[in-house]
């Protein structure tokens, strides 16, 4: 069963962003809003985005740098049991 929904009180900033995004994606406002709702409610079958923005950093540490890093973040593995009572 398909239903129409009316959204009231859209502020100018939100309306502007919706229009910009629908133009950028070359879709109607209705299609954009439906996609955003489905995504926010985890009702989409899309595969998660794969990012490559840190690829150039992969494998750039020396063994000594990696050991130093692991030593410095080792304290993060400790759990303060008094906090988690």
pLDDT in tens, 14-52: 999 999 999 999 999 999 999 999 989 989 777 777 888
Scan for tokens 């049991």, then name that residue. 81
Scan for tokens 């409610």, then name that residue. 41
pLDDT on residue 72: 94
* DSSP annotation of 61: S
pLDDT on residue 85: 72
């Amino acid at each position: 069963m398909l239903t129409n929904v009316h959204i009231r009180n859209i502020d100018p900033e939100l309306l502007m962003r919706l229009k910009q995004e629908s133009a950028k994606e070359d879709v109607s406002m209705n299609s954009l809003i439906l996609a955003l709702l489905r995504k926010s409610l985890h009702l989409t079958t899309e595969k998660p985005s794969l990012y490559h923005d840190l690829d150039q950093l992969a494998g750039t540490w020396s063994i000594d740098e990696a050991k130093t890093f692991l030593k410095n973040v080792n304290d993060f593995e400790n759990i303060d049991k008094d906090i988690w009572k």
